[in-house]
Every structure is written in structure tokens, then in C-alpha cells.
Chain A
Amino acid sequence: MRFDFTPEEKKFKRQLSSFLDDVLPTDWHGPADESRDDHWTLNQDIKKGLAERGWLVMSWPKEYGGSDSSPMMNTIFAEEMAYRRAPGHDRFGTRMFGPTLMRFGTEEQRKKHLGSIARGEIQWCQGYSEPNSGSDLASLQTRAIEDGDDYLVTGAKIWTSLAHRANMMFMLVRTDLEATPHKGISLVMVDMKSTGIEVLPIVNMAGVHSFNQVVFDNVRVPKSNLVGDPNDGWRAGMTVLNFERSGIDYAAWARAALEEIVDYVNSDEAAVTSAKTDPTVRIKLAELHMEVEAARLMCYDVSYRQGKGQIPASEASMSKVAASEVYLKVLDYGVEILGMYGVLEPGSSQAKLQGRFFKMRLFYTSGPILAGTNEIQKNIIAQRGLGLPRK
């Protein structure tokens, strides 16, 4: 039992923090809006800087450019990046697809793609959800029909983050139309510049263009881009989700937001100057402080177990549910404590904290929805974690 970081972990955290001090603009509050060119440039610069320091893929094995660092180290990295609301943390390439390729890809595929991810050169996006396949992902309909040495891919993916910035997509396609849903799916890599791909922006309720619909019309994909065996894509694709699922980003965002609220309440700028002595405010902020710490410890537990060689599916789901929910509670309270100022949009001359809390609250409505809704996570906790029967 030890609830502290090792000296090595603490040192890394300091180094990363000091790097971020240098690269983030002095008035940086984030979060980044990757549809803005200046923010995207910052994203790319930071990603390259992280790659140069060996931090971008440090959890990867040495042979692929990593340093075999522990899952805990990786969590510290993700936490610090999220805490600073820093762009440049490439979830899709480094955290999700890279590890999948190491496990399921051919030697040639690994050589070709892992290096460019590790160097921060290529942006990947994830083609999973479809207009009619969300939580029921195995019902996906985008087809890949064999045509000589290629597949011809036709269909549509949706809610694809960064498709408008990405060079490559890893996507699930149906390669066997006759098989039962889980058995006929394959995982393929697609060049986003291929003929027949159309990226249609979707603006979210916060007014941000962060995801897209991607339409495929007979897009030619070489068979050599298949990852793993044909019709075995469900297994490979779900592995991605295991890498994806952690609440640490939310826990760190929640901590940063809570600190911002406390600073605001204590500042002269506070619209209601009595807030800091108001017992209801004090009690609510203390409760959130506890909730943030509870969520954070759940995320560390996931990393601890991963470090022990376990695949803590239920704990990972717990951490995602707990952290994404507490983040929304913090943001809700941030908006509430600003009173009538709370609903001023960013850009309003009288907005407090630059209207950030209102916008973040709208934006992170996505937290409990994306990467497996929290309802799906609770099914996993109940069935895989607690052993409740499915039928």
C-alpha cells in the first residue's frame, strides 16, 4: 500500500510540467479547439516536442521507439496534459491504434506506421461509430468488398473526431455479409486522401467543429492494410477500446476546473463577493474536492492493475463513469456559481472566466456518451465486474 508517486515519477511530472510552461502561451486556458488553425499548429508543435523528448510514446516497447515505461507513468503523462488542458496528446495514434498494431499488425505494418506515430508526424482518427451503429457497434454496415488486391469500401462513419485533420483512419468494416454480426468485421487502415472519401463537418452543441461524418464511396484500400485476420476485426477493434478507456483525462480536467472555481470564489473578481463565506458554497466545493480525488484514485488503480499485467475491464469502466460524471458536476457548479454571468457565451464583453465554463459544460456533455456510453460501462461493471448474469 502506497498512495504516492515514486521519485522517478515525480521527476517526470516536473519535467513535463516545465516543458508545458515553455510551450503553452502564457495566457493559455484551453481547451484547444482543433478546428482553429492556430490551435492545431500548437497541437502539432507540442506533439513534436513531446516526441523529441521521448514522451509521446514512452509506454511503448523500446523496439518501437518507446521506453517501456509503466502504465502509471503513462497515466501521469495523460493527467498532466489534461490538467493543463494542453493539446498535442495524440490519443488515437499513440494510445489506441499503436498498441493494437503491435499486437495484431504484421512486421511490415508496424515498421511503416509505428515510427511515424512515435515521431508525431501522422494524425490518426478512429472510424467505428456509424449513423445506425452507436452503442450496438457490431451492427455496423460499412462494407469492404474484395476486388483483386484491394477492398472497395462503401458506407459512412460518424462522430469521427479529427477526421478533418487526420492523415489516416483505422476503421471497422464488414467483410462478411453472411456471418453473424461479430464474426464478419475486419479492421483496416485507410489513407484519408483516398479517392471517394468525403469529410462532412459536424458542429457540436458547444459550437465547435470537433467531429465529422466521413462518407466512403467505393474507396480503394489495399488488402495489405488489413490489420489482423480477415473477419477477426472485432477482437482487434475491442482491444483499442480497452486502451482507450480510462477516466484520467476527466479526473484531471475536473481537478483543474475545480481549482479555477476556488480561485475565482476567492478572488475580487467574483460576481458575488460573499461566495467564499457562504456555507452552501463551501460545502459544495468540498464535496466536489472529495469526488475529484475519489475519481482520480480509481484511475490510478486501473494503471496499478495494468502494471501488474491484469486487464482491469471493470475498473476501467468504473473510472470512466466516475470521472466523466464528476467532471460534469464540477462544470455544472462552475456555471452555477457565476450566477447570471454563467450563461454568457465566450466572446461576451462581460463574461466571467471568458465564458469558458459554459462552453466546457456544453462541450463535455459528450463525456458520458463517447467511447462507450456510461450506460454501456455500467453493463460491463455489472456483468464482467460483479458477475451478474446476462440472461
Chain B
Amino acid sequence: MDFGLTETQELIRASAREFLEDRSKSDIVRSVAEGDNEAITSLWKDIVDLGWPSLTISEDHAGAGMSFSDLAVLLEELGASLAPTPLVESSICSWVIERFAPDSLKSDLLPQIANGDILITPAIVEQDASWDPESTKVAATRSGSTLVITGEKRFVAFAEQATHALTLVRIDNEEPALVAIPIWKADGVEQTPLAHASGVPVSSLTFNELEIPVGNIIAAENEAIKAVEELTAAGGVARAAQLAGLGRAVVDATVDYTANREQFGRPVGTFQAVQHHLAEMAIAAKQVNHLAYSAAWTFSQEGYSVVAAAQAKIAASDKIAELCWTAHQCHGAIGFTWEHNLHLYTRRALAWKTDYGDSAFHKSKLANAMGL
């Protein structure tokens, strides 16, 4: 057991902190939440320049060839700073493409994701809000070497910025297929932005007889189902890493506030009732951190683990949301205001709680793995 970071990971952490301190300040986070898409584009451009989208892409495909653990260290910092940027979306898609796509597609897509020419985001969920791939209904019909796609995907993050969507469809009402769909200004793709608590753009995507080449199929039939299951698990671990960072940031902010806010002639943080809230928050943040890192490490070693992903995402979803509510209690009235930044964290925690499988989804997966 080694809970320390490698030298590379220490470097990743330090450079991420330095960059995000400046580039993910709360006024930027707020302005993005209010619809400033230019701020997203500008931040993403800098992130591409830093090479972060290429981090876990293999060296064979022009990536940096780093591990899922390395990515988790970076994501923890992105979570702590609420960075409004699609790194999880991009990284998880490239991870799935690397594991499932035929070589020709890998060589085509991955170098472009690495250099920022392609920004790809998962479009898996439909009207029933389920991450279960079996429930997919969006239809594709085969017409020669073309797939014609019709139907609606919901809760697609950064669809407004993305060039491509990684989408599960059902060909001829039967065979599931995972496809890369070019969506940037494409005919036959309609976007409906949703007012989403995450503070980043989230949309519904409606495909109206959208034509894409059959060659864009990344995985078909059982492999497509498996790919989406793995995508959901990996996304869960990635969100857990972000939530670990978010939780840490909220604990730090709450310690800072309660140590300085005075009532009855003393800091409120001297009261045992407040100290115990904070002790419990600190335990929760630490547990989520351990489970997220443990899962990321397991992914690095074994490629994929449904148990580790479930443990991390269950803990992150449940514990960090609760931690945020307790932080509001500790902040008193000031933390209830629009002006105070605390609700930005809470909104993000509640949004991340739901995606890549909520707590109940992963508990069911874990129960299966436990033999229940």
C-alpha cells in the first residue's frame, strides 16, 4: 500500500494547481455558469496546450501514455477548482476508444483528440435518464455504407463545444452500436440547452435522419454494451476523483470560515458542535479520496473494475453531497447567499452525483458483483 504520489503525479498536481488558481477563479466559474461560452473555449484551448486531453492516450496514438491514476490526480485538482472544462468527457471517451475501437478508427480519432482538433463527449443517456445501455432506443438504419440516425440523447455535457458525440444507438431496432458522431454544426443535429446545476453547458441532442459512415462504429453488439458499461464505470471514477477534490476544497473553506467567524467573543470553530461537523466532513472527504485513488489505481493495473468504480462513485455521490449541505450549516446565513461561492460547489456536487450512474445504479452493480 502506497498512499503517496509518484514524482510525476506530484508534478501534475503542482502544475495543475498553479494553472487553475489563475484560470479557474470563481469569477470565471460564475461567468461560465451564466452562459459565457467564450470562457469555456478559451480555457479549453489552454488546457489542450498543456496536453491534458492527451494524458491517458497511448504514445502510439500521439498521447502521453500516462495512467488512470495520473489522470485522477489531475481531476482531483479540476474538481477542487470547479474548472468548467470537458476534460472528463474527453478523457473517458478516448479511454473507451482506445479499448474498443478498431485500429483504423483509433489512428484517426485519438491523435486528433490529443491535439484538440476533436472534442468528443459521451451522449449515452436518453429520456429515461438511465445509464443502462440496454435501455437504448435511439434508432439507426443501415443504408449501404451509411447509418441514418434518428432520436434524442439527453444530458450531454459540453455538446455546444464538442465536435463529436460518442453515442450508443440501436441498428435496425436491434443491434446496439457505439458510434462517433460528428455534431459540430452538423445538419440533422438539433441542440436544446438545459439549465443544468453543474454550471457548464448540458444539452439534449436530437438527431433527425443524421447520416454518418458505417466506419464510425467503434463497437457493435455485446462489445458496444460492454464499452458503455466501462465508459460509465470510468466516468464514475473520474467524477469521484473530482468530487474528492471538491470535498477537500469545501472542507478547507469551511475550516477557514469557522476559524475566523466570531460569535460570543470566540471563533465559532471552537464550539464542539461545529468541530464535530468538520471532523465528519474531513473523514468523508478523505474516504472519497482513498476510494477514488484506489479505483483509479485498479483501472491502471487491471484496465477496469466494476467493484472499485462502484465503491468510488457511491461514496463520492453520497458523501460529498452530504458534506456540502453540512458546510452550508457551518457557514450559517452567509453560506445561504447567492453571492457566497459555496453554492457553486454544492450545485456541482449535486450534478456530478447524478451522472455516470448515480448511487443507486452503482449499488445495484456492486450488489451483483457481491453475488446478491
Task: Point out residues on A near B: beta carbons under 8 Å.
Answer: 1-5, 72, 262, 265-266, 276, 279, 281-283, 285-287, 289-291, 293-295, 297-298, 300-301, 303-305, 308, 314-315, 318, 321-322, 375, 377-379, 381-383, 385-391
Contacts and interface: CB of A to CB of B under 8 A. Distances in A.
Nearest to A377: B279
Contacts of A375: 272, 276
A63 B276 CA distance: 43
Specify which of B278, B279, B298 lies most central, judged by the most chain A CB atoms within 10 Å of its CB.
B279
Nearest to A385: B282
Nearest to B295: A3
A388 B275 contact: yes
Contacts of A297: 287, 290-291, 294
Contacts of A5: 1
B281 to A, nearest CB: 9
Given A293-B311, A382-B276, A382-B279, A262 B290 contact: no
A229 B2 CA distance: 38
Nearest to A314: B282
B55 to A, nearest CB: 15
B270 A390 contact: yes
B366 to A, nearest CB: 4
Contacts of A305: 3
B5 A321 contact: no
B29 interface: no
Nearest to B267: A389
B297 A285 contact: no
Specify which of B3, B259, B363 lies most central, judged by the most chain A CB atoms within 10 Å of its CB.
B3
Contact of B297 (A3, A266, A322, A385): A3
A139 to B, nearest CB: 18
A298 B282 CA distance: 12
Contacts of A322: 283, 287
A386 B290 contact: no
Interface string B262-273: 000011011010
Contacts of A378: 275-276, 279-280
Contacts of B5: 1
Contacts of B283: 298, 318, 321-322, 381
A300 B1 CA distance: 7
A70 B290 CA distance: 21
Per DSSP, chain B at the interface is helix
Specify which of A1, A305, A315, A389 lies most central, judged by the most chain B CB atoms within 10 Å of its CB.
A1
Per DSSP, chain A at the interface is helix
B293 A301 contact: no
A322 B284 CA distance: 9
Interface residues of B, number: 49
Nearest to A263: B371
Given A1-B293, A301-B290, A286 B2 contact: no
B370 A285 contact: yes
A285 B372 contact: yes
Interface string B216-259: 00000000000000000000000000000000000100010011
B315 interface: yes
Contacts of A303: 1
B106 interface: no
A308 to B, nearest CB: 8
B9 A281 contact: no
B123 to A, nearest CB: 28
B355 to A, nearest CB: 18
B291 A386 contact: no
Contacts of A298: 283, 286-287, 290
B370 A286 contact: yes
B364 interface: yes
B367 A282 contact: yes
A304 B9 CA distance: 18
Contacts of B321: none
Given A286-B370, A294-B291, A2 B310 contact: no
Nearest to A72: B1
A389 B2 contact: no
Given A262-B372, A290-B310, A388 B287 contact: no
Given A276-B372, A294-B315, A388-B259, A379 B275 contact: yes
B360 interface: yes
A5 B1 CA distance: 6
A291 B318 CA distance: 11
Contacts of B275: 378-379, 382-383, 388
A301 B3 contact: yes
B366 A289 contact: yes
A315 B363 CA distance: 27
Given A294-B315, A314-B282, 10 more contacts: A262-B370, A281-B372, A282-B363, A290-B314, A294-B287, A297-B291, A300-B3, A305-B3, A382-B276, A383-B275
B270 A391 contact: yes
Contacts of B4: 1, 304, 308
21 contacts: A2-B1, A2-B297, A3-B1, A3-B297, A262-B372, A283-B363, A286-B314, A286-B366, A286-B367, A290-B311, A293-B294, A301-B290, A303-B1, A304-B2, A314-B282, A318-B283, A321-B279, A378-B275, A381-B279, A386-B251, A388-B255
A6 to B, nearest CB: 9
Specify which of A2, A375, A388 lies most central, judged by the most chain B CB atoms within 10 Å of its CB.
A388
B346 interface: no
